[in-house]
């Protein structure tokens, strides 16, 4: 297949809506809590506008779910695949550490699967992490430009949505809302919504979530994100175990601790990526190059 035909093929796949399940991440309250909790633990060398921007970051952290509004046909279909990665559909292959279009080529041509059904979550995280790096670099160059803090908060808040999704184990599997059975039925359908709702319904607060967390610089962001997603995937059996016991609808001490740990993991990832973006921005050249 030549390059021109590949580009056309990818465009058709995206525009044609060959998409996976319509899975939300945490309810809006869960995403807001993760963003606000991460902002509260940023170290002092991060600019004050960002450290004090928890409420703004929390608002922007919900935007990627707003973009999936069913009345927004183009935006919704472009956005949906950014929220998950169905690890089983990679057939043991590693995603390319380049960009999403190489991944789409691999998934469609090598695996013969539809890219947006497999998911693009690690690329969404990388793309918004790098947008934040650029924003912070612009701030270093022009700290009095009042437009720059706004875009940093927008990019950072959007990034926080995807990092929050990565911490939700059911965003790493094709069995995102129940176990698919050989006869075509789905066992434990509805589990996704129960977990999504848990932080908000059970009042997990930013203060509780961020307690004891410290920002850490990430040396290899791509490797770190993929390791995080793989670790998140290991918690899928526990999700189904708690659900079968009714422990999400009627929380136990153990089920609450489990969800709190996942929310804290998402907060730690968010905090670390924000901080790493700030550190990396010091050496990033700005402007058109």
What is the model's pLDDT at position 286?
Answer: 80
What is the model's pLDDT at position 175?
Answer: 95
Chain segment 251-283, per-residue pLDDT in tens:
999 999 999 999 999 999 999 999 999 999 999
The Cα 180–Cα 239 span in angstroms is 15
Is residue 7 pLDDT above 50, yes or no? no
Residue 13: band (very low, low, confident or very high) from pLDDT cuts 50, 70, 90: very low
CA atoms within 13 A on the CB side of 24: 23
Average pLDDT over residues 120-140: 98
Residue 29: band (very low, low, confident or very high) from pLDDT cuts 50, 70, 90: confident
The Cα 254–Cα 86 span in angstroms is 27
Burial of 113 (0-12, 13-18, 19+ CB in 10 A): middle
Chain segment 163-201, per-residue pLDDT in tens:
999 999 999 999 999 999 999 999 999 999 999 999 999
Could you tell me which residue, 24 or 209, shows the higher pLDDT? 209
Angle between helices 253-281 and 147-167 (to 10 degrees): 140
Is residue 49 pLDDT above 60, yes or no? yes
pTM for this entry: 0.90
CATH class belonging to 32-68+123-282? mainly alpha
What is the model's pLDDT at position 249?
Answer: 97
Is residue 26 pLDDT above 90, yes or no? no
Mean pLDDT, the chain, as a whole number? 92
Token pair 């999936």: residue? 68
What is the model's pLDDT at position 289?
Answer: 54
Chain segment 68-121, per-residue pLDDT in tens:
999 999 999 999 999 999 999 999 999 999 999 999 999 999 999 999 999 999
* Structural domain spans, the chain: 32-68+123-282
The Cα 41–Cα 170 span in angstroms is 27
What is the model's pLDDT at position 80?
Answer: 95
Could you tell me which residue, 202 or 289, shows the higher pLDDT? 202
Is residue 15 pLDDT above 70, yes or no? no
Q: Please tell me what DSSP assigns to residue 111.
A: S
What is the model's pLDDT at position 2?
Answer: 44
């Amino acid at each position: 297949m030549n390059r021109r035909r590949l580009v056309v093929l990818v465009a058709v796949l995206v525009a044609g809506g060959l998409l996976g399940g319509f899975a939300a991440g945490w309810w809006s309250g869960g995403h807001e809590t993760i963003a606000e909790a991460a902002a509260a633990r940023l170290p002092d060398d991060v600019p004050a506008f960002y450290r004090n921007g928890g409420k703004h970051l929390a608002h922007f952290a919900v935007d990627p779910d707003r973009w999936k509004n069913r009345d927004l046909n183009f935006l919704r279909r472009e956005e949906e695949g950014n929220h998950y990665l169905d690890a089983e559909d990679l057939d043991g292959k590693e995603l390319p550490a380049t960009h999403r279009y190489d991944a789409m080529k691999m998934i469609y041509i090598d695996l013969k699967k539809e890219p947006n059904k497999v998911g693009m979550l690690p690329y969404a995280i990388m793309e918004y992490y790098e947008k934040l790096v650029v924003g912070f670099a612009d701030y270093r160059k022009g700290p009095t430009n009042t437009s720059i803090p706004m875009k940093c908060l927008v990019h950072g808040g959007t990034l926080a949505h995807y990092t929050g999704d990565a911490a939700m184990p059911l965003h790493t599997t094709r069995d995102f809302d129940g176990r698919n059975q050989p006869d075509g039925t789905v066992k434990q359908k509805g589990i996704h919504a129960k977990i999504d709702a848990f932080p908000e319904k059970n009042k997990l607060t930013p203060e509780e979530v961020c307690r004891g967390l410290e920002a850490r610089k990430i040396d290899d962001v791509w490797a770190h994100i993929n390791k995080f997603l793989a670790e998140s995937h290991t918690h899928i059996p526990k999700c189904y175990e708690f659900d079968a016991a009714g422990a999400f609808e009627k929380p136990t001490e153990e089920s609450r601790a489990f969800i709190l740990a996942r929310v804290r993991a998402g907060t730690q990832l968010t905090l670390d990526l924000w901080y790493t973006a700030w550190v990396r921005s010091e050496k990033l050249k700005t402007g058109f190059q």
